[in-house]
Each structure stands twice: as C-alpha cells, then as structure tokens.
C-alpha cells in the first residue's frame, strides 16, 4: 500500500442514513400522493373508480328495468330521476362505469407497451430501424385519433375489443415519440456503453439498462394516455360505438338523455360530471407525479446544487 | 477614472473591500458562506480557490449582489470605491451591474446568446449603460482590440458558434470590460479551455486588469492557474476563508492543513512526486457543526478543534483560520518522491496499435496512429481536446467501430467493434469512463452494478460473486455499506472508485482510463491517481492513461504519447518527453501548462497573444 492510500474507508457523509435505499419508484409515488395536488387528484379519481367498481353491486335497480316515469324528476325513491325510457338514472350511472374503465385501462396499457417498444428500439438501434419505425409512426399520426378509430370501427363493426385496440393503437405513436426522445438522451450515457462493453445483447441493454431510467416519463405518459382513452372511448360511445343498448354506459347515457336535458338534466349532468372528475383527477395526479419526478431525476450539475442546498431547504 | 494618466496613482488604492459577507439558505437557514472578508487594490487580482461546494461561486455572485435561487445575502458589506453594493436599491444595483461591476462566466458557449451576432452582444452592454464609455461604435472596436480580437466587420457579424472556445471567452471578456468597470468577477473562465488557449485568456485578463486599474476576483479550483495570475489568494473551505495572503508565500509555505493538502494534491510536471489527496468530504451547509469544519479530515486535529470554532489569526504574513496555526507553521509538509517507474524491460508488447485511422462520419479524427503498451506498464496518451485521444481509446476498447489499421492485443488482432469481440477479450480489456456521473446506471445499486459485470463475464455462483464484489470494494478503499447505495448517494470520487472496481472485479489485463479524473476535484484526483498507480503495480496491469493534463503524466506513467490533430507528435519515456521535448508542439504544451509557483518567482509575462492565435 502506498503512503497516501486511505487506511480506512472514508467516513460516510452524515446524511447517508437519511437517504436510505428504500426510496425510489414506490416512494416517488408516495411523495406525489403527499403533495396537495397529488392528494386531490388521486382523491377525485379514486371516488369515480370506486363508484364504478362497487356500483353494480349496490345499484338499487337493474340498469335496464323500466321502473319509473320517462325523464321523471328526482324524488326519494329515484334519487336522480328517470331516463328517457323510464329507467333509474342512479342505477344506470352506477352500472355504466366499469366497462369504460376496463376498456380505457386496456387501451392505455396497449398503447404504452406498443409505443415504448417502438420508441425505445427506434432510438437505441438508430439507422434503418429508426427510419422504418418512425415513418410508420408518422403515418398513424397523420390520422386524427377519433377518425382513425371510427375508420377501423366502420370497417369491422363496433366490437368492444376492437374499440379498445383501435384506441390503444392510436396512442402508440404519441408514446413512441416521447419515449424515443427520452431514450436518445439516456442511450448516450456512458453506462449504456459500459453494458455494451460487457457484450450485452441489444434487447437486454434496452430492457435492463435503458428502460428502468424511463420509468418517470413512462408513468407521466401513462397518466396522460389514460385520460385520453377515457375521453375517446366515452366519445365513441356517445357516437354510438359502444356497448349495444340496453347496456348502460356513461357516454351512451349522455347521448340518449340529451333530448330531455330541460326535463331531467341529471341524466346528462351526472355521467358527464363523472367523466370530467375522473379525467381531471388523473391529470392532476399525473402532474403532481411529474413535478416530484423532476426533483428526483435531476441531472448531475443540478444534483450538486440540490444536494448542497436543497436538502437543507426542504427540512 | 479611466484616463491613462491617473492609472499609476490609483494602483495601490483599495478598490474593493468585502467585510463579514454571509449568505444563508432562506432567511434563517444555515449559512452557506460566512464571515468572508478581503480587500482588492486597483489593478490587482485576488484568487478565490477551493473545491466544489466550498462556496467560492456563492461569494463571487454575492459580489454582484446576486445569489442563486433559495439563497439570501444576510450580512456584510461589499464596498466598491466606497459605496456598498449590497445597500443599493434594485434599480441602482441594476445600473451598477455591467457598468461598475461585471461578471465573466465559466462557460462562454452557454453565456453567449447563440442567435445574436457577437458584435450585437458587445454593443448591447454599451446600449444598456449609455454614457459609461463614450461612443459605442468606437468603444466596441477598442475593447475588442484590448481583448486581442480583430474588430473587423466580419468578426463582428459572426455568431458565437462560428468562434473557437478561446475567442468566445474573449468576447465575454470584451463584454465585461466594455463599460470600464471598477470590479470584475471571473468565475473559472478558463475551465473548459485547452492549456494553450487558457494561457492566452489568462494573459488577456492580466493585461486588461493592469491597464484599467480594475480590481478583479478570479474564482478557480485550479491552484496552478491562480498562482501565475493573482497577487493575493484566498482559500475557501466549507464556506469560510481558511487562509488568505500573498500568493507566493501562501503557496510557498502553506500553513492551514487544508491548503497544505490541496497543494500536496497538485501534480507537478517538473518533479515526480507521489500525490497526496485529502480523504473524506467537505461538510454540507447546516452539517458543519461546532468547531473547525476541516477537523474531521485534518491530521493535526485535537479535541479542541471539534468544539471551538477557529477565528482568523495572523501567521507568517497571512491570515489563517486554524486553532493550531502557530504550531503547524513550524512543521514542514513533506512531499514523497514517487517511486520512479522503471521503463519496462523489452518484451512483446501487451497492446500494439499500428496505423490506426478513424473518422466520425466523414470527419477524420485519427490518421495513422501507432503506439505500444508494454506488459505491466502504463502509457499516457496526452493531447488537447480534439486531438483524438479519446477516439483512440474508444477504438481500442471497441466503442468506436469505424477505423482501419491494426490493433493487436497479446498477439491477437482485435475486432473493430465490441459486438464482434468475444467475451474473453471484452473481459480482458476494461475501459473506465471519463465521467463517473454518467457511467453508473442511476437505477442500480453499487452491488448490482458490480454483480452484473461478474454475471456477464464469469460463471461464478451468487456466493462467489458477492465475495468477489466485497473484495474489490476493499481494493478501491470503499466500505461494504456502499453495496446497497445508489450512485447518486455517492460523491464523485466514490463513484469513480466504483467504476474502477467494476473494471477490476473481472481481473482485466489492460485497463484504459479515459480522462478519469477530469471531472473530479484536485484532492480527489490525487486519491484516484494514487489508487490507479497502486493497482497497476500490484496487479501487473498494462494501462493506457488518457489525459489532457501533462502534469499528471509524471505521477502515473512510464512512457507517453503526445497526440496532435489525430497524429502522434512525439512518443517516448516520460522523462524524455517532459524534460527534453523534441517536437515544437510538445514544447509549447509544456510551456503552457500552468505551474504551481512555490517560490517568489512568478511565471514571466509573455507578450500579448496574436489576435488569431486562439
């Protein structure tokens, strides 16, 4: 050992125990929930989801039973009155959410998975793959989302799985764009080169080295795409591409009952408000998450300043 | 005040006087810097040195009445020609900035607006402060000549990206001097520049300050740069000035243990000395505790040091913030001569590079480069930025596949890219990256990072792998507790040690170190260089050490290759290259390396550089 090689490992900075290994992804979510913005957003979305999930179990009447007057005013028995055929609006509202939510979630998952695969491999592989993938993306992008979905549906007929796939596919290009630029940034970093020098296969480099560093843009993108999915799917239902009648669906309910808007407005307002509450809630939470992420995924030069100063500030 | 006649008389008058400056986090948070006092006479430059996080930039900005977001100047005065800048109204302060006080930032490429012509940018300063310097058009030409730039119309019409780094920095200097300020604050203005360009910029700064009678504060982490430029130097540590005095005395006989440590860590191109780093870390604001902030890292610390905060005392012509200053002054720091590396006995080279020509796209980077690395020896590859030294390393490592020529490693030719090389070759040639902030995956713990390397290259069981990982951490002097840490919980030096551990754990035979210390502080650089030297010797590694810092070469390598614009300018044993450089390019490089002056002699002032030389 030379004279100056340290005999003992350098003392750990006193702040290390505070920054334990237990933080990371889960705690980013937790930190987002702890911000007022995140708590409000999550609360709004959770209320709607809860209503949609346990709704079918607690609905007082069957959604398709003709139990009251057509467009009847709300009263003690029928809290939200009747719809244009005389079915209980409350029961239909409680019953009409879960299919929408499941479809939106599936469409989002599909869009994120497809978009991530396309975007990450385009950016990492570069060259010909990049060209082919991104031109394909451009082609899909050139169709407006709703028009693209309508086109597919008019060709193949309104099937729920088809709606889900159509919406998912129409998301993929947007996701691919965002993740491609995020990947371009990450794949230039030296740890990716280090993995290549270990002889790692490209697919493994993407999955093990790059993807974990994209969690934050992925989560933000997922939140954003989920709100779009809900709006597009509800919108398609409004246009008549949804579950066939007499099934209840928030989008369909708005369409069916708009003729009675002046008689029993609740049949339109409540489903519309639920959709609004859900999308605003998810968006707000996504926003809170994105803000927390910026504080976590900082760049080295910012890290120096934040490490030196920010920790003390946040105490 | 700027008439040439009065300059001589104004030479010794104190221009800038700072007393008790304190900057805190928020209104009542912990102090980031405190009790900072110094004075700068007209025409003189004060050097403000310290490692990253010492608060030197915070002080520099406070001189302009500015702080970074979240900080606040809570006490003190910045008296410039008798007026307190900190007491000015925001409006008056705005009028003073640029006209009476100006600032030269670190990175000219981001400080200049890329969409404006440089002439417009210089003229803008004069337009904002009308009346500060007579006719704007004449003044632009004048100040550009003073900054050794040609004020031709086509130069004025250029955009920043059409200028070299040195020219860009001269533009920012011209902007800073345009209104004939009384004080100029320079924040590491030469950090990103080559030694030769750096020297020209320093000459420019020196002559501008002298001829205008400007007081200047020069912030730098590079002691050698400061030693040739300034008359007084203030050493900062953990937000305090720990030692301040005339530069020759302070660097010649440093008293404060931290100053001694810093100077011991600076490599010298003239002597082969072992580098002594300072282990440990600087405490952060709010965690400095009672007593001396340096006590935890200090060899001279006693019990009192941890409880009693030192006040500045005057010792040997400088002010020192140390309780034991007088006792320490009597002792002399020793510099251990490095064990002279013997040139390797003639043997078949471990690595030989012959006629390698490489390009990025259509831009040629290397042309016909050859070098040999004997077994168990370290070869330094030196050159300015753009000389192709990193490209050469990447060709050898397999990161850059676009080359022709021949690279043989232990007798067998190496394939072009990493994908064409077999696992065993990849294992035996390990590469350590320049920047430890990007070479470790931020989503993986240190344990996972090292384990992945073992998994890729060895068939060891999980138990054996973790034993190997633990062993290698010990080799690079890191504690086992780091295994579960993520990279962003580590300091720069610790990260680079993890990167070295990752390379070593698979028992390589050739280690390529690409500017591995250029993003680290000088005290950490010394530790890393000593670590690499020890490991190279203990493990009998062949090593390529790439650096732009000629002074480091002495400390680690036995032979050196000087690259210039993608071709070998000169190669040979280190002693020969550094002492009797044959090639004019090497000679110029050696001349331009800033050297730490440890005696009264300062390096002589050269004539002004020619306007086009940078």
**What values do phi and psi take at A59, rounded to 5?**
-60, 130
**What values do phi and psi take at A111, rounded to 5?**
-65, -45
Say if residues A71 and A263 touch (Cβ distance below 8 Å): yes
Per residue in A219-245, pLDDT (tens digit) is 888 888 998 888 888 888 888 887 777
Query: What's the average model confidence in pLDDT over B267-276?
Result: 77
Residues A216 and A252 in one domain: no
Residues A174 and A277 in one domain: no
Chain A environment of B337 (Cβ under 8 Å): none
Residue A11 placed within a domain: no
d(CA A82, nearest CA chain B) in Å? 55
Chain B environment of A189 (Cβ under 8 Å): 438-439
Residue B55 placed within a domain: yes
Say if residues B12 and B6 touch (Cβ distance below 8 Å): no
Mean per-residue pLDDT of chain B? 85
Does the beta-carbon distance from B491 to A212 stay under 8 Å?
no
Minimal Cβ distance to A212: which of B52, B68, B443: B443
- In B, minimum Cα distance to A303 occurs at B488
Minimal Cβ distance to A4: which of B280, B484, B530: B530
Selected for mutation to probe chain B from A198, A207, A218, A295 (highest B CB count within 10 Å) is A198
Residue A263 placed within a domain: yes
Residue B500 placed within a domain: no
Does the beta-carbon distance from B486 to A3 stay under 8 Å?
no
Residue B132 placed within a domain: yes
A297 to each of A28, A213, B448, how far by Cα in Å? Answer: 10, 9, 20
**Pair type for strands B378-382 and B559-564:** parallel
Cβ atoms within 10 Å, residue B167: 25
Chain A environment of B426 (Cβ under 8 Å): 197-199
Query: What's the average model confidence in pLDDT over B16-29?
Result: 86
Residue B527 placed within a domain: yes
Minimal Cβ distance to B433: which of A190, A304, A305: A190
Number of domains in chain A: 2
Does the beta-carbon distance from B277 to A1 stay under 8 Å?
no
pTM of the predicted model over 0.90: no
Give me the pLDDT at residue B453, please.
93
Minimal Cβ distance to B296: which of A4, A11, A193: A11
CA A200, chain centre distance (Å): 32
Q: At what angle do helices A266-296 and A215-238 cross, to 10 degrees?
A: 170
Residue B602 placed within a domain: no
Residue B477 placed within a domain: no
Residues A91 and A190 in one domain: no
* CATH number of the CATH domain containing B243: 3.40.50.300
Per residue in B512-560, pLDDT (tens digit) is 999 898 878 888 888 899 999 999 989 999 999 999 888 888 888 999 9
Residues B197 and B292 in one domain: no
Residues B265 and B193 in one domain: no
d(CA B55, nearest CA chain A) in Å? 10
Residues A126 and A214 in one domain: yes
d(CA A131, nearest CA chain B) in Å? 18
Write out chain A's pLDDT in tens, 315 residues. 344 444 434 433 433 433 333 445 566 778 788 888 889 999 999 999 998 888 888 888 888 888 788 777 888 788 888 887 888 888 888 888 888 889 999 999 999 999 999 999 999 988 898 999 999 988 888 888 778 778 878 887 778 888 888 888 888 888 999 999 999 988 888 999 999 999 888 899 999 899 988 888 888 888 889 988 888 888 888 888 877 777 888 888 888 888 888 888 888 888 899 999 999 999 888 888 877 776 654 444 344 444 444 333 333
Residue A10 placed within a domain: no
Residues A129 and A220 in one domain: yes
Residues B63 and B99 in one domain: yes
Nearest to B497 by CA among A242, A6, A32: A6
Residues B107 and B204 in one domain: yes
Chain A environment of B26 (Cβ under 8 Å): 313
Chain B environment of A26 (Cβ under 8 Å): none
**Sheet containing B510-514: order of strands:** B429-432, B510-514, B542-547, B378-382, B559-564, B567-573
Does the beta-carbon distance from A307 to B284 stay under 8 Å?
yes
Report the percent of chain B where pLDDT is more than 90.
34
Residue A34 placed within a domain: no
Residue B522 placed within a domain: yes
- What is the SS3 string spanning B114-154? CCCCHHHHHHHHHHHCCCCCCCHHHHHHHHHHHCCCCCCHH
Per residue in B328-376, pLDDT (tens digit) is 887 877 666 665 555 556 678 899 999 999 988 788 889 999 999 998 8
Q: B187: which strand partners?
A: B219
Residue B472 placed within a domain: no
- In A, minimum Cα distance to B25 occurs at A313
Pairwise CA distance, residues A285 & A296, whole Å: 17
Residue A202 placed within a domain: yes
Nearest to B594 by CA among B140, B201, B111: B201
Chain A environment of B457 (Cβ under 8 Å): 198-199
Say if residues B101 and B184 touch (Cβ distance below 8 Å): yes
Say if residues B308 and A37 touch (Cβ distance below 8 Å): no
Q: What range does the domain containing B162 cover?
A: 115-171
Residues B298 and B360 in one domain: no
Among residues B156, B171, B186, the one where a domain terminates is B171
Tell me, yes or no, if A2 comes closer than 8 A to chain B by beta carbon: yes
Pairwise CA distance, residues B278 & B523, whole Å: 5
Q: What range does the domain containing A277 cover?
A: 39-97+248-298
């Amino acid at each position: 050992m030379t004279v100056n090689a340290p005999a003992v490992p350098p003392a750990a900075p006193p702040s290390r125990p505070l920054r334990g290994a237990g933080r990371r992804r889960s705690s980013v979510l937790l930190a987002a929930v702890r911000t007022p913005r995140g708590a409000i957003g999550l609360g709004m979305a959770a209320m709607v989801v809860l209503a949609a999930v346990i709704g079918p179990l607690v609905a007082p009447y069957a959604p398709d039973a003709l139990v009251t007057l057509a467009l009847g005013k709300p009263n003690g028995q029928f809290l939200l009155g009747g719809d244009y055929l005389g079915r209980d609006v409350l029961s239909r509202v409680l019953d009409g959410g879960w299919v929408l939510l499941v479809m939106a979630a599936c469409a989002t998952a599909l869009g994120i998975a497809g978009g991530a695969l396309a975007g990450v491999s385009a950016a990492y592989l570069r060259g010909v793959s990049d060209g082919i993938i991104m031109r394909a993306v451009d082609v899909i992008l050139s169709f407006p989302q709703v028009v693209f979905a309508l086109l597919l549906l008019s060709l193949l007929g309104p099937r729920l799985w088809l709606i889900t796939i159509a919406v998912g596919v129409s998301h993929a290009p947007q996701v691919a764009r965002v993740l491609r630029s995020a990947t371009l940034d990450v794949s230039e970093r030296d740890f990716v080169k280090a993995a290549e020098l270990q002889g790692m296969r490209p697919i493994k480099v993407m999955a093990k080295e790059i993807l974990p560093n994209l969690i934050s843009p992925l989560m933000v993108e997922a939140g954003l795409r989920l709100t779009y999915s809900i709006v597009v799917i509800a919108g398609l239902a409004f246009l008549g591409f949804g579950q066939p009648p007499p099934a209840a669906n928030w989008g369909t309910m708005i369409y069916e009952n708009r003729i009675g808007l002046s008689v029993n407005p609740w049949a339109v307002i409540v489903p519309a408000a639920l959709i609004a509450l859900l999308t605003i809630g998810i968006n707000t939470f996504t926003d809170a998450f994105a803000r927390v992420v910026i504080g976590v995924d900082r760049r080295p030069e910012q890290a120096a300043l934040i490490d030196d100063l920010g920790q003390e500030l946040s105490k | 005040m700027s008439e040439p006649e009065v300059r001589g008389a104004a030479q010794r008058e104190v221009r800038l006087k700072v007393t008790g400056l304190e900057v805190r986090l928020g209104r009542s948070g912990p102090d980031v810097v405190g009790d900072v006092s110094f004075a700068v006479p007209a025409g003189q430059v004060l050097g403000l040195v310290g490692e990253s996080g010492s608060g030197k930039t915070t002080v520099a900005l406070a001189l302009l009445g500015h702080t970074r977001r979240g900080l606040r100047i809570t006490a003190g005065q910045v008296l410039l020609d008798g007026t307190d800048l900190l007491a000015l109204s925001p409006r008056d302060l705005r009028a003073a900035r640029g006209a009476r006080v100006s600032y030269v930032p670190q990175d000219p490429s981001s400080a200049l607006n890329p969409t404006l012509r440089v002439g417009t940018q210089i003229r803008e300063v004069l337009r904002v402060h009308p009346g500060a310097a007579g006719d704007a058009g004449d003044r632009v030409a004048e100040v550009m000549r003073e900054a050794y730039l040609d004020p031709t119309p086509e130069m004025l019409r250029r955009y920043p990206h059409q200028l070299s780094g040195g020219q860009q920095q001269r533009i920012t200097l011209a902007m800073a001097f345009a209104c004939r300020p009384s004080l100029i604050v320079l924040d590491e203005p030469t950090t990103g520049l080559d030694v030769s360009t750096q020297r020209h910029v320093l000459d420019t700064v020196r002559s501008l300050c002298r001829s205008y009678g400007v007081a200047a504060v020069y912030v730098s982490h590079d002691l050698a740069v400061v030693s040739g430029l300034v008359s007084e130097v203030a050493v900062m540590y953990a937000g305090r000035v720990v030692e301040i005095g005339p530069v020759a005395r302070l660097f010649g006989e440093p008293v404060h243990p931290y100053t001694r440590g810093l100077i011991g860590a600076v490599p010298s191109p003239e002597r082969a000395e072992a580098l002594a780093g300072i282990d440990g870390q600087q405490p952060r604001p709010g965690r400095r505790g009672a007593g001396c902030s340096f006590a935890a890292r200090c060899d001279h610390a006693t019990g009192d040091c941890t409880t009693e905060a030192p006040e500045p005392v005057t010792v040997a012509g400088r002010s020192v913030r140390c309780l034991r200053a007088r006792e320490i002054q009597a002792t002399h720091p020793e510099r251990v001569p490095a064990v002279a590396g013997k040139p390797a006995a003639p043997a078949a080279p471990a690595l030989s590079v012959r006629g390698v020509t490489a390009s990025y796209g259509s831009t040629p980077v290397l042309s016909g480069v050859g070098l040999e690395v004997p077994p168990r020896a370290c070869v330094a590859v030196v050159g300015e930025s753009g000389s192709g030294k990193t490209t050469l390393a990447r060709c050898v490592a397999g990161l850059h596949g676009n080359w022709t020529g021949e690279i043989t490693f232990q007798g067998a030719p190496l394939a072009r890219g990493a994908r064409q090389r077999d696992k065993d070759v990849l294992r035996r040639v390990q590469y350590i990256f320049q920047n430890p902030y990007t070479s470790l995956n931020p989503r993986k713990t240190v344990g996972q990072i090292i384990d992945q390397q073992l998994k890729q290259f060895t068939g060891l069981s999980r138990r054996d792998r973790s034993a190997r990982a633990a062993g290698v951490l010990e080799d690079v002097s890191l504690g086992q507790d780091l295994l579960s840490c993520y990279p962003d919980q580590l300091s720069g030096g610790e990260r680079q040690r993890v990167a070295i551990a990752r390379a070593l754990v698979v028992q390589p035979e050739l280690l390529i170190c690409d500017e591995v210390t250029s993003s680290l502080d000088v005290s950490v650089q010394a530790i890393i260089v000593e670590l690499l030297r020890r490991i190279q010797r203990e493990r009998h590694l062949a090593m390529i050490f790439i650096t732009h810092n000629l002074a480091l070469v002495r400390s680690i390598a036995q032979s050196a290759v000087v690259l210039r614009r993608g071709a070998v300018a000169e190669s040979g044993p280190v002693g020969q290259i550094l002492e009797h450089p044959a090639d004019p390019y090497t000679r110029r490089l050696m001349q331009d390396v800033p050297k730490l002056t440890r005696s009264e002699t300062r390096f002589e002032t050269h004539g002004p550089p020619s306007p086009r030389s940078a």
